[in-house]
Amino acid sequence: MRVKNRWRKGKGPKTIEDQSNALGFIVWQISSNALLELENKQYQTDSNSHRLDVIEEFACFLIQCTDRLAYERMDDEKRQTFINTIAIKVAKTLQENRLDVQGAEDFVNPFIEKLNARFSTYSECQFADDEPGYSLYRALGNFVQPIMGERNNRWVSDQVLDIEGPDAFDVLKKSMDNLLNDGALF
């Protein structure tokens, strides 16, 4: 997957909000691509709502990974602002998409609640040497599997664990490195 993850030359240093908003957009792109990859491999989704549920799970996973990667690079205050801004960007994008599919409702607060619940689960999983451990990918697979339709459902957790999760993380890490290094703020 290719994403635009570099700043234009000559625009000067970027604020933490600029960087986190850009990364929030990229998290949404990566999550959407992961869903498309699952569907292209014949894993079943039954509705646009289910598709958004899968995107939401990948977004929670990627935001958690971003937090883990940011831990070594930023002080606590900057990291908190960085992660909160990413979460809000993703939540607003989710809100816009769910409004189109499910009608007028608040989808931001339920997403933030889910994100906090996932953070609690993912915090117990290994993340070493700037890489998620097996348990983190396995947890993502276990969250995605019940959302998917019946066709090939038995194998979707393994697909997420072995391929889609690592691919999504690799794009995230590269994007984060490029945005933070090009932005010259940290």
Q: CB-side exposure of 27: number of CA atoms within 13 Å?
A: 30
- Give the integer Cα–Cα distance in Å for 31 and 154: 21
- Give the integer Cα–Cα distance in Å for 147 and 124: 23
Local structure of 5: helix, strand or coil: coil
How would DSSP label each residue in 71-96?
Answer: HTTS-HHHHHHHHHHHHHHHHHHHHH
- Provide the residue ranges of all domains of the chain, joining segments of one domain with +: 16-183
Local structure of 131: helix, strand or coil: strand
Which two structure tokens, joined as six digits, stand for 118?
A: 């996932």
| pLDDT per residue as tens, the chain (186 positions) | 556 555 456 566 677 788 899 899 999 999 999 999 999 998 988 899 999 999 999 999 999 999 999 998 899 999 999 999 999 999 999 999 999 888 888 999 999 999 999 999 999 999 999 999 999 999 999 999 999 878 767 889 999 999 999 999 999 999 998 888 754 444
Residue that has been written with the tokens 């609690």 in this structure: 120
Which two structure tokens, joined as six digits, stand for 68?
A: 């883990």
Q: Which amino acid is at 121?
A: T
Q: Which amino acid is at 25?
A: F
- Helix-strand-coil percent breakdown of the chain, rounded to 5? 75, 0, 25
First-to-last C-alpha distance (Å) of the chain:
26
Q: Which amino acid is at 55?
A: I
Residues with Cβ within 8 Å of 134's Cβ and at least 6 positions away in sequence, in order, are 126, 161
Q: What does pTM read for this prediction?
A: 0.90
